[in-house]
Structure 1
Amino acid sequence: MNVTPLDELQWKSPEWIQVFGLRTENVLDYFSESPFFDKTSNNQVIKMQRQFSQLNDPNAGVNMTQNIMNLPDGKNVEDELAYVDPARRQILFKYPMYMQLEEELMKLDGTEYVLSSVREPDFWVIKKQKRINDTSAGSSRGPRIIPLQDYYIIGANVYQSPTVFKIVQSRLMSTSYHLNSTLESLYDLIEFQPSQGVHYKVPIDTTTTSTTTGANNGNNVGGGSNKNSVRPTGAANMATVPSTTNVNMTVNTVGTGGQTVDNGGGRAGNGNTGITTEMLDKLMVTSIRSTPNYI
């Protein structure tokens, strides 16, 4: 049978809260119903003694309060609670039922549960500790308190506080996982070539590549070689030259109509000054020898 560790357990009792409600005065009673509570603790012993005392003496609670406020040997409550930390001491003075519980716990040795922090209406901290009273004669020192465990209640949920070992272990495992994932990603980027050695690959953006390829294909009219061509100023819609052996070429210029250039005579029709044969030859050579620049 698999048992869930207490530091991984969340407990709540909506039925109990519906009947009694949850507040600072009864939060220890609510905690005593959880699996975190030790039934052999001093709190359970005091609880059973109170039930027996109330059955035999209905005024037991009043007498207990009077005994706490009037301590023997001229001692006051502050002297008796000097060993208690200031935060918990304020809780004892504010809530009489916890003052009564502390007075009874001072008479016993062993494991006990105390309320150590309050932030109403939805947060409480309960501390499990071991009390060792100094019974030597004439000793003025208070009891020795050994902390064992902390529990916190958020809303109606009760949790056990994890140990420092569990926290450090969790952080180290998380760090190791992320480092391992990073190294695996770096290994995928390493590439070896005999001419260049070991180097990292450059990630390729497929969106930019496809856009650039489409633009280059659009500039190449007629499906010819994808090379940069030089257009003369003022010229538009120049047809692609299919071969260097062709004699006549047709060029549309910005002007009155088109003109036909005779490669042999170098004449321009329609009386307009157009592109000469020498200019076309230079354009041809430039287009063939130019090296395209890829982005």
Structure 2
Amino acid sequence: MNTPLDELQWKSPEWIQAFGLRTDNVLDYFAESPFFDKTSNNHVIKMQRQFSQMPGAPAAGAPAPNGGEGGNGQYGGGASMLPHQDMGSGQGEFAHVDAARRDVLARYPLYAGLERELSKLRGVEYVLACVREPDFWIVKKQERSDTTHTRVLQDYYIIGANVYQAPTLFNVVQSRLMSTNYHLSQTIKNLHKLTVFQPSQGVQFKSTPSGHAETSMPTGNTVASVPATANTGGVLSMNGAGSTVAGQTASTAQFESNRTRDTITQDLMDKLMITSIKSKPEYIQ
């Protein structure tokens, strides 16, 4: 299989139709998936039970105590019939496991018996870590070094009929960083399209058609119309005689009309230079 396991979704509707999916057989369902390691201790226990009938265990096909079919699954029948202590003393017996798993072991004697068998072996094993019936379970893959010490290798989620492998922390952080970098790059690219360079004012945002407004300024006996934009820093006020203001207003109007062009001509540059030398505009914030 070339698909990485953390990108794989597996389900078996045929298996669920034949046996159903409940907490007492969810590990049987997981064992059919490509996530299951056939060299694990769980598979060793399954093989041992197939060739040795445990004393007191129901015959194959007989109803199991937890509602499953006896002999049907990996842990059906025999595991729940193992001799075990009562639940009160079982809390002390399984004190080394986390609270969620202790709750599972206390509620399901089937998995309490399986835990006792797994504690006798060393190596890779699968345990039911969390139950939220009727459609959510968490299976842990762990490596057992002794009776009470294990190291978690991988988590798996069973949601409805689908089985997923939990991604590693490295993959989660890598995915988030790549997503953040992509959106920042797109934002900078879009902002660059909205800016324009002007020799007199430097880089500023472009004016949109909806942002233009006509502002009238008195210039002696006449009134000159100057386009004003909503995204400029303030209002341009001129000091001096009426003729000077009128001339500057005309130059500003011509500059604003030419601003939408893609290129700045040499003639426009000369007029801008003359305007900047003769006038001293003040920007009121």
- TM-score normalised by L of structure 1: 0.62
Give RMSD over aligned pairs: 2.9
Q: Does residue 181 of structure 1 match 2:186? A: yes
Aligned to 2:102: 89
Match of 1:204 among 184, 208, 213: 208
Aligned pairs (5 A) from 1:101-180: 101-133=114-146, 142-180=147-185
- Give the % identical residues: 57
Aligned to 1:279: none
Aligned to 1:257: none
User: Quick check: 2:91–2:106 contact (8 Å CA) kept in 1?
Assistant: no
Q: Distance in 2 between matches of 1:18 and 1:63?
A: 24
Deviations 1:9-45 (A, max 9, x none): 1000000000000010100000000000000000000
Q: For 2:206, give the aligned amino acid.
A: V
Cα distance, 1:85 vs structure 2: 1.4
- SS for the counterpart of 2:39 is coil
User: Quick check: 2:79–2:110 contact (8 Å CA) kept in 1?
Assistant: no
Cα distance, 1:84 vs structure 2: 1.4
Q: For 1:111, give the aligned amino acid.
A: V
Aligned to 2:29: 30
Aligned to 2:246: none
- SS for the counterpart of 2:189 is helix
Aligned to 2:14: 15
Q: Distance in 2 between matches of 1:40 and 1:62?
A: 21
The farther-off stretch of 2-11 and 165-174 is 2-11
Cα distance, 1:50 vs structure 2: 1.2
Q: For 2:81, give the aligned amino acid.
A: T
Q: For 2:118, give the aligned amino acid.
A: L
Cα distance, 1:66 vs structure 2: 5.2
Aligned to 1:59: 57
| Structure 2 unmatched ranges of 5 or more | 59-76, 229-285
Q: Distance in 2 between matches of 1:178 and 1:36?
A: 34
Aligned to 1:46: 45
- TM-score normalised by L of structure 2: 0.64
Q: For 1:89, give the aligned amino acid.
A: R
Aligned to 1:291: 224
